[in-house]
Amino acid sequence: MKLNTPIKIKVIKHAFFMLNSMKQRACKDDILSVKDELFTMNKGGLKGVWDKVLDLWGVIKSTNIPFSQKVLPLAALIYTITPLDAIPDLVPFIGLSDDATIIVATAATIATTIIKSKNKLNTTVESKVS
């Protein structure tokens, strides 16, 4: 079933509204809550995209990236650890597919930020080793 263009626009506007709302309410406690739950998620449908999950987590933890650029990966990881999903996680085989899709889409969207985060991490590690 194809969505009409006005419906797509309405969905996109709603998604931006939700993201902006989350950006205004996001805080350091959200990062701590993700940290507490995140590493229990390396299973099922997420096992195949676990490296992307770690990339998003690396962006969130980076001190070189402004908080405003951390909101999207934070929202994706919060969605992933939250039991309320578009497809419940208890549904066999496809339960984590929406979570995996969100993670991959977010990682693709912020790929440049992820690359910058990894480059700064590698530079820091190399300077400490030298």
- DSSP track, 80-118: HHSS--SS-TTSTTTTTHHHHHHHHHHHHHTHHHHHHHH
Q: How confident is the model at residue 36 (pLDDT cuts 50, 70, 90)?
A: confident
Query: Is position 52 within any domain?
Result: yes
Query: Is position 55 within any domain?
Result: yes
Structural domain that includes position 75: 27-129
pLDDT of residue 123: 64
Query: Is position 48 within any domain?
Result: yes
Query: Is position 68 within any domain?
Result: yes
- Number of separate domains in the chain: 1
Exposed / middle / buried, residue 70 (Cβ in 10 Å: 0-12, 13-18, 19+): buried
Query: Is position 58 within any domain?
Result: yes
Exposed / middle / buried, residue 41 (Cβ in 10 Å: 0-12, 13-18, 19+): buried
Query: Is position 19 within any domain?
Result: no
pLDDT: which is higher, 80 or 21: 80
Judged against a pLDDT cut of 50, whether residue 1 lies above it is answered with: no
Query: Is position 78 within any domain?
Result: yes
Query: Is position 3 within any domain?
Result: no
Q: How confident is the model at residue 71 (pLDDT cuts 50, 70, 90)?
A: confident
Average pLDDT over residues 15-22: 67
